[in-house]
Amino acid sequence: MSLKSNLIKLVIKLTPNVLIIWVSNIVLKGIAELTQFNFDIDERKVYVQIRLYGEADTIEVTLDDFAVFNDGDSYRFIIHHANSDRPWLNNILSRIIGKAWKIPALPAFAAQLELVAEVFKAKPVVLEQID
DSSP letters, 10-31, are: HHHHHS-HHHHHHHHHHHTTTT
* 126 within domain boundaries: no
Measured CA distances, 34 to 26, 46, 105 (Å): 10, 13, 30
Q: For residue 8, tell me if it sits in a domain.
A: yes
pLDDT of residue 15: 92
Residue 130 lies in a domain: no
Residue 109 confidence (pLDDT): 87
What is the per-residue pLDDT across 54-86, written as a single tens digit (0 to 9) for each?
Answer: 999 999 999 999 999 988 888 999 999 999 999
- pLDDT score recorded for residue 131: 42
Task: Evaluate whether residue 98 is within a structural domain.
Answer: yes
Q: Domain range for residue 51? A: 3-119
Asked if residue 124 belongs to a domain, the reply is: no
Give how many domains the chain has, as a whole number: 1
Domain assignment present for residue 131? The answer is no
Q: Judge whether 70 lies within some domain.
A: yes
Q: Which residues 6+ apart lie within 8 Å of 99 measured at CB?
A: 78
